[in-house]
Amino acid sequence: MPYSKINPDEMILRDHLAYDRTLLANETTLLAYLRTAMALLAAGATLFRLFSEDPFFQILGMIMLVLGVLIAGIGVFRFFAITKRLKILHEKVETT
């Protein structure tokens, strides 16, 4: 693990603030993924419903819907993976 070499006793205020910034950046990244996913879902649903006669727009709408779901899934997966990695450091800091 990348944070296994960190000694919480040697962390200074700057290190704790950097840790907090990293947590906030992780949350911001999740929100960006979700915002992109919602935009794709909305655009895909709009194309699918508005152009119900044209097969090109039907397929494009379905592709956008699938991409929206995939991007949301990737964002949530990455959020929890990074949070899990950061939690190791947090547990070390809290025990001291």
Percent of the chain predicted with pLDDT > 70: 81
* Residue 68 to residues 50, 58, 64, 84, 90, Cα–Cα distance (Å): 18, 15, 6, 24, 32
Of 11, 4, 68, the closest CA to residue 37 belongs to: 68
Domain borders along the chain are: 12-95
Q: 58 or 90, which is more confident?
A: 58
Query: Is the sign of the CA dihedral 88, 1, 3, 32 positive or negative?
Result: negative
In degrees, rounded to 5, the angle at the alpha carbon of residue 43 between the alpha carbons of residues 68 and 61 is 75
Per-residue pLDDT tens for 17-50? 888 898 899 999 999 999 999 999 999 999 999 9
Yes or no: say if 47 and 26 are a contact pair by the CB < 8 Å rule. Answer: no
Whole-number average pLDDT of the chain = 86
Q: Using CA atoms, how far apart are residues 28 and 5, in angstroms rounded to an integer?
A: 27
Mean pLDDT of 50-64: 94
Of 89, 87, 81, the closest CA to residue 30 belongs to: 81
Least confidently predicted of 2-11, 13-22, 52-61, 76-85: 2-11
pLDDT of residue 95 exceeding 80 = no
